[in-house]
Structure 1
Amino acid sequence: MFDINTKKKLMLPFLFIVAVNASVSVAQSKKEFLTEPLIKNIYTADPSAHVFNGKIYIYPSHDIDAGIPENDNGDHFAMRDYHIFSMNDIGGPVTDHGVALDIKDIPWAGRQLWAPDAAYKNGIYYLYFPVKDKNDIFRIGVATSKNPSGPFKAEPNPIPGSFSIDPAVFTDTDGKTYMYFGGIWGGQLQRWATGKYNANGSKTDLQQDNAPALSCKVALLKPNMKEFAGKVKDVVIVDDAGKPLLGKDHDRRFFEGSWMHKYQGKYYFTYSTGDTHFLCYAVGNNPLGPFTYKGVFMKPVQGWTTHHSIIAFKGKWYIFYHDTELSGKTHLRNIKMIELHHNKDGSIQLIDPFK
């Protein structure tokens, strides 16, 4: 039997979803959105943007309405393929390059093709993707192409030692490439808390409020960009006193959707707090951390949460993100972008997704 406090905690995800769904209609009726969706003919989310060959390429999820009821495992996010998009200029037309990878062409895949990312090295483009294997465990795969828009051919197996969701790949100025990944609740990160997968583990988080929060993971990639070069490490976020953020700190702790960018020699680890819907940033002196929490840089969007990327393009910085302006439903999203500003002291100016 659960005591009343445990029951309350287990109800939190459901209550959050109800609250968010209720807030959607309020936001639609009372607020104006800051910017327009980039793509309106299909639903897109989780945009990973990169500059290749002087153009912006966007690698998002492709949301579909699969008719699956919402639940905390995210089964209603039943995506099956990826479209890749490109832009020559900010504000210019967006080109849809069609399906670049389909779940049926991934030999080891089971279901749910979630948020991807991409990278380039030595004449090859790499598409990194999380998908549940045939045992319903999220792993991260890689596919390759000689063109940034694909099509991409998947490797026959997932990256050894990979797990959970939301790969974000960062190549430093020294040429080393790192993958950041992980997401709790439906992303299964909490099931790997002991280092081994526990299918009967918590469905949400560890529910250890006074212990250090679950960490995003990071691994150095081998030069072949298809394997980890060593052990997977924790991305530790600390407060100003150098103490790790705690599990109960839902306004600041990592949940999912990480990204890395480098600005004036500092490493900016950015991420979503998930159930509290903030985008936050923490800054460190090397890509492995630790990272000191600095604050919120985007207020909650309309929808369950957001998943972003940050790039520099023609002397300015931009953030790509998503909300649910077109559908009003948490699982049918649309991607957007807006300029992002760093202050002179290195802090990031706060963005409100509504006018």
Structure 2
Amino acid sequence: MLRNLFTLRRPALLLALPTLLAACQSQPAQQQAATGAAAPGAKADSTGKKYLAQPLVRDIYTADPSAHVFNGKIYIYPSHDFEAGVPENDNGDHFAMRDYHVLSLDSIGGKVTDHGVALDTKDIPWAGRQLWAPDVAFKNGTYYLYFPLKDKQDVFRIGVATSPSPTGPFKAEAAPIAGSFSIDPAVFADTDGKTYMYFGGLWGGQLQRWVTGKYNAAAPDKKPDGNGPAVGARVAVLSPDMKHFAGPVKEITILDSLGKPLLASDSKHRFFEGGWLHKYQGKYYFSYSTGDTHLLVYAVGTSPYGPFTYKGVIMKPVEGWTTHHSIIEFKGKWYIFYHDTQLSGKTWLRNVKVTELKRNPDGSIVTITP
């Protein structure tokens, strides 16, 4: 785009310059760089100055990365951001994603491959709008893609699509999972063979509309506040066929250091969205975003159902409003995948990154300052 400037006469150049510059800033663009990954974490350049982990891909916008290791390789299932032209608002209508791409890499710092569209809204029978953060699980020779999507009544439900390949394409079931609601599904397979789904998100994620167990369309689209108990994420065990809930949906309780449930007003500690579960040395680590305070934090428990006791901050605020992550172990090290807005500077046009996750001898996580 910029080289087009030099073909314009000066009057035309002055008139066209704002439009041309805006176009350059709003596109991830192949002009910026080829798809590829940089080594994780802060490094030093030739002057010794520090710089941050770099976007894993630059030719499309990606966010909410759910990373997994399948067959010795890392696969990433992100949201696919794009400029939909929807006005920005508190409900997140401008996050108008409509398909998913799958990314893969053989090593941290190695080449990232974009496998193209794995699932599109037009191929989901019950679709309304907004394909938000997904996750994937593998069982019985099949890959299961779990995705939040507003149905035709504009209520977020969680659907499932299947494929024999980790890269898709995925075929969606005819209806969402019965009893599912809200956003941000994250699936955890325990060592006993049971598989759990964690989900939920406040505000635009509609979780506050389900506090009674039934959908309340009249509930305001805002985060709960006050001295009442915080609204917790939800968890349900999945059926052997991975397409249904095999038990009741339960609310997760997060406790403070004194063993008391966190309050709704405790915005630096309570759950907001983007839950993830991993297991380390026999303990369950439930990590999540605090939303409007922009932290990634974690709590630890002895059961996949909780309760979990708050332990600390994993990552301080990134550039951009939202924060969303996943955590995996790969070749003896732990890594956190996350996103920020380095490429665009816009909260709805994000880019995924990865950096190493380090722990203290007692298992506590070392805070990352991006």
TM-score (norm 1): 0.90
* 1:21-100 pair list within 5 angstroms: 33-100=51-118
In the other structure, the counterpart of 1:321 is 338
In the other structure, the counterpart of 1:349 is 366
Give the Cα separation in 1 of the matches to 2:325 and 2:224: 25
Which residue of 219, 226, 229 maps to 1:201? 219
Matched, 1:283 2:282: no
Which residue of 281, 291, 308 maps to 1:274? 291
Q: Is the 8 A contact 1:309 1:320 kept in 2?
A: yes
Q: Return the offset for 1:57.
A: 0.2
In the other structure, the counterpart of 2:173 is 155
Q: Return the offset for 1:205.
A: 2.2
Which residue of 128, 136, 139 maps to 1:110? 128
* 1:218-297 pair list within 5 angstroms: 218-297=235-314
Q: Deviations over 1:263-303 (max 9, x none)?
A: 00000000000000000000000110000000111000000
In the other structure, the counterpart of 1:18 is none
Give the Cα separation in 2 of the matches to 1:345 and 1:233: 29
Give the Cα separation in 2 of the matches to 1:297 and 1:163: 27
Q: Return the offset for 1:199.
A: 1.1
Q: Return the offset for 1:206.
A: 2.9
Could you say which structure has the larger radius of gyration?
2
The AA in structure 2 aligned to 1:151 is P
Which residue of 162, 181, 185 maps to 1:167? 185
Q: Is the 8 A contact 1:55 1:88 kept in 2?
A: yes
Q: Is the 8 A contact 1:34 1:352 kept in 2?
A: no
Q: Which runs of 5+ in 1 are unaligned?
A: 1-30
Q: Return the offset for 1:200.
A: 1.3
Give the Cα separation in 2 of the matches to 1:121 and 1:273: 31
The AA in structure 2 aligned to 1:171 is A
1:247/1:151 CA distance change after superposition, 3 Å: same
Q: Is the 8 A contact 1:164 1:189 kept in 2?
A: yes
Q: Return the offset for 1:32.
A: 6.6
Partner-residue secondary structure (3-state), 1:186: helix
Give the Cα separation in 2 of the matches to 1:77 and 1:235: 27
Give the Cα separation in 2 of the matches to 1:279 and 1:272: 5
* 1:1-40 pair list within 5 angstroms: 33-40=51-58
Cα-Cα RMSD: 0.9
In the other structure, the counterpart of 1:216 is 233
Which residue of 145, 150, 154 maps to 1:136? 154
Identity %: 74
TM-score (norm 2): 0.86
The AA in structure 2 aligned to 1:187 is G
Question: How many residue pairs are counted as aligned between the two chains?
Answer: 322
Q: Is the 8 A contact 1:324 1:333 kept in 2?
A: yes
Partner-residue secondary structure (3-state), 2:209: helix
